[in-house]
């Protein structure tokens, strides 16, 4: 082993290297390690359990299993904490802290003595944060996910967080179920360890990590409580030791071809709209651009193949039983770049050759010639309302609303929305467009998952299930509806969305990939001149850093100073 490896790597600076190593060895011996173990290469294990993160409940067991794998393969496993992001416990939003977690991961990988790292994440923003940090640090790394929750039952019906959370809440708002039933449902939606049970953001990012090649083959969809999950953890530890002997760095795995494969997978999954933001941010750390025009080209030639909620009917445990990511990649094979390399050292082509003929449940993973939908789940829209693009999840929307012009019912902020949406006096009809301003990256709201504006109560009670909704916010991966998101530039940055007024008309054309504000240019100029001065925002701390440096959605909402310029720049 190189003397710079293992526990002797990256010594603390005391001006005397011998003293620094002697001191470090002395202190680590206080933890009871033997000299034999201290001579081994070190595999760091970035873990993020927290009492505020239900999705990471099983993480201690995973850490133990990774350690087993590392020890058996001849390495020394040392786990270390990073911050944890529990989706529903963070204010204002978890996205706001994704970049902070990514910096924590990057800097702790760099600062501590390790030769490779296993990253264990699960809940929505944690896997993107870990991939961003690992890509920037560029030390050999293996991503392991906590895995999805199992489903539960309510009155004989299968339930899983969190598409069903929204469906039952909509029924409650519409007066179709009472308080007693919603209370019972509340206790049955999330009943095991793990991440949301549908193709939400966490599951999407788990699948994208495998599609990129950063996770071991076949591990993305294993349920959190399945024994295979522990075996995957053990194997991830062993793989991290192999990566020390035959280094493959994240910059060799996350290439332009790998990113394009991940985009194909995102589209074929009917995956979360957040996936495009996160993939853009991960690729951006390595200087790889993700263009929304390219997304549209890929979307037109990539069918939705996976029948999972919110696009379809099934849950992640069904996807795993159906063959998981291997099944999907085999079906998608003609559309993929087969020369990409994963953390195993194998190319995608070699992996798929080795798996050829393995069983697939085609009720859940459809064949390329009989897809769930003939085109991809996501498209980008452009137009006078969104010059730098907006995202639309066509696989989870009402096709009857795809080509439509409507009158704007405007909400100027999240507070305005919550105050007026259920007002019986609200002037709103089913064919109106609900528009929300000031929920984008620099608005101070942290770009919340508020793009799924609720159907106004009086319309919901009258049976209206979907309306066109437009905002610069995001939407949970578990949500559904005819919803235009990530309008860029956002309204808080003075984008055209800021100029919209109640009663304006907007035209949506999914066919033409257009979203246009039907107001003449002279009037828009007049409104632009009358825009109020932007209020002073945060003055200190992370909120100020975020406000000053966060990029728009088309930059993955990363910080401008964290983006990479390609491997050569590092
Ligand atoms: Fe953690 Fe859904 S709340 S994945």
Domain boundaries, the chain: 1-39, 152-186, 378-532
Ligand 1: atom nearest CA of 87 is 3
How many Cα atoms occupy the beta-carbon half-sphere of 8 within 13 Å?
A: 15
Rounded Cα distance, 537 and 517, in Å: 28
Residue 204 CA, distance from chain mean position: 6
* DSSP class of 195: B
378-532 in CATH: which number?
Answer: 3.50.30.80
In the β-sheet with 141-145, what is the strand arrangement from edge to edge? 76-81, 42-47, 116-121, 141-145
Alpha carbon separation from 31 to 10, 37, 63, 241 (Å, rounded): 20, 12, 18, 22
**Maximum Cα–Cα distance across the chain:** 77
Burial class (CB in 10 A: 0-12, 13-18, 19+), 97: buried
The answer to whether 539 and 432 have CB atoms below 8 angstroms apart is: no
pLDDT value, residue 416? 97
Q: Is the distance from the beta carbon of residue 147 to the nearest atom of ligand 1 less than 6 Å? A: no
Start-to-end Cα distance in the chain:
25
Backbone angles phi, psi at 471, to 5 degrees: -165, 175
Give the H or E element holding residue 338.
none
The answer to whether 223 and 293 have CB atoms below 8 angstroms apart is: no
The answer to whether 225 and 58 have CB atoms below 8 angstroms apart is: yes
How much distance in Å is there from the Cα of 91 to the middle of ligand 1? 15
Residue owning the nearest CA to atom 2 of ligand 1: 196
The answer to whether 128 and 105 have CB atoms below 8 angstroms apart is: no
Rounded Cα distance, 185 and 162, in Å: 11
Structure tokens at 411: 């909400």
Ligand 1 site-directed mutation target among 95, 97, 124, 207, most atoms within 8 Å of CB: 124
pLDDT value, residue 242? 98
How much distance in Å is there from the Cα of 523 to the middle of ligand 1? 44
Grouped pLDDT means (10 residues each) for the chain, 570 residues: 76 95 97 97 97 97 98 98 97 97 98 98 98 98 98 95 90 94 96 96 98 98 98 98 97 98 97 96 97 96 96 96 98 98 98 98 98 94 97 92 97 96 96 97 93 94 95 89 96 96 98 97 96 88 96 96 66
pLDDT value, residue 477? 82
Rounded Cα distance, 384 and 243, in Å: 49
Ligand 1: atom nearest CA of 54 is 1
Question: According to DSSP H, which parts of 333-370 are helical?
Answer: 348-355
The answer to whether 223 and 214 have CB atoms below 8 angstroms apart is: no
Rounded Cα distance, 332 and 327, in Å: 9
Rounded Cα distance, 348 and 332, in Å: 12
Strand 116-121 and strand 76-81: the pairing is: unpaired
How much distance in Å is there from the Cα of 202 to the middle of ligand 1? 6
The answer to whether 509 and 403 have CB atoms below 8 angstroms apart is: yes
Three-state SS at 531 = coil
Alpha carbon separation from 62 to 70, 89, 495 (Å, rounded): 12, 22, 45
Spatial CA neighbour of 204 closest among 220, 181, 219 = 220
Burial class (CB in 10 A: 0-12, 13-18, 19+), 255: buried
Rounded Cα distance, 409 and 413, in Å: 13
Q: Is the distance from the beta carbon of residue 449 to the nearest atom of ligand 1 less than 6 Å? A: no
Ligand 1: atom nearest CA of 55 is 1
Give the H or E element holding residue 381.
strand 378-383
Ligand 1: atom nearest CA of 478 is 2
The reply to whether the predicted model has a pTM over 0.85 is yes
């Amino acid at each position: 082993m190189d003397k710079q490896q293992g526990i002797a790597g990256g010594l603390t600076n005391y001006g005397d290297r011998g003293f620094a190593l002697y001191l470090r060895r002395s202190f680590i011996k206080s933890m009871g390690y033997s000299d034999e173990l201290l001579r081994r290469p070190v595999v760091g294990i970035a873990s993020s359990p927290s009492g505020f993160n239900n999705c990471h409940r099983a993480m201690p067991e995973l850490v133990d299993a990774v350690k087993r794998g590392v020890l058996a393969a001849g390495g020394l496993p040392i786990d270390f904490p990073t911050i944890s992001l529990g989706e529903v416990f963070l204010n204002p939003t978890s996205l706001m802290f994704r970049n902070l977690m990514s910096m924590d991961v990057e800097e702790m990988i760099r600062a501590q003595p390790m030769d490779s790292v296993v990253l264990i994440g699960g809940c929505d923003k944690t896997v993107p944060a870990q991939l961003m940090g690992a890509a920037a640090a560029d030390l050999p790394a293996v991503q392991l996910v906590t895995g999805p929750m199992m489903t539960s039952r309510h009155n004989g019906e299968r339930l899983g967080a969190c598409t069903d959370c929204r469906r039952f809440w909509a029924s409650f708002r519409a007066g179709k179920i009472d308080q007693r039933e919603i209370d019972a449902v509340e206790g049955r939606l999330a009943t095991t360890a793990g991440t949301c049970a549908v193709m939400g953001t966490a599951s999407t990012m788990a699948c994208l990590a495998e599609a990129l090649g950063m996770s071991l083959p076949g591990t993305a969809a294993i349920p959190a409580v399945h024994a295979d999950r522990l075996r995957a953890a053990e194997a991830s530890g062993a793989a991290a030791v192999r990566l020390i002997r035959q280094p493959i760095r994240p910059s060799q795995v996350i290439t332009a071809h790998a990113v394009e494969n991940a985009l194909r997978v995102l589209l074929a999954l009917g995956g979360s709209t957040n996936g495009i933001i996160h993939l853009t941010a991960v690729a951006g750390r390595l200087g790889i651009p993700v263009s929304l025009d390219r997304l549209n080209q890929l979307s037109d030639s990539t069918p939705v193949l996976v029948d999972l909620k919110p696009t379809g009917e099934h849950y992640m445990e069904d996807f795993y039983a159906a063959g998981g990511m291997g099944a999907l990649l085999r079906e998608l094979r003609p559309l993929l770049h087969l020369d990409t390399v994963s953390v195993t050292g194998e190319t995608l082509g070699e992996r798929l050759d080795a798996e050829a003929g393995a069983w697939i449940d085609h009720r859940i993973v459809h064949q390329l010639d009989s897809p769930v939908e003939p085109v991809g789940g996501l498209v980008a829209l452009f137009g006078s309302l969104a010059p730098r693009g907006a995202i639309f999840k066509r696989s989870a929307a009402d096709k009857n609303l795809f080509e439509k012009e409507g009158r704007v019912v405007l909400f100027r902020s999240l507070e305005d929305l919550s105050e007026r949406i259920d007002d019986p006096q609200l002037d709103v009809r089913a064919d109106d467009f609900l528009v929300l301003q000031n929920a984008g990256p620099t608005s101070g709201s942290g770009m919340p998952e508020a793009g799924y504006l609720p159907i106004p109560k009086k319309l919901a009670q009258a049976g209206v299930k979907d309306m066109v909704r437009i905002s610069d916010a995001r939407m949970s991966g578990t949500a559904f509806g005819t919803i235009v998101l990530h309008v860029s530039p956002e309204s808080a940055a003075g984008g055209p969305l800021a100029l919209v007024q109640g009663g304006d008309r907007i035209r949506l054309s999914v066919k033409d990939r257009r979203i246009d504000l039907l107001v003449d240019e002279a009037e828009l100029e007049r409104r632009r001149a009358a825009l109020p001065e932007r209020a002073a925002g945060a003055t200190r701390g992370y909120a100020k850093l975020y406000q000053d440096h966060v990029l728009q959605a088309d930059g993955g909402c990363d910080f401008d100073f964290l983006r990479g310029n390609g491997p050569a720049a590092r």
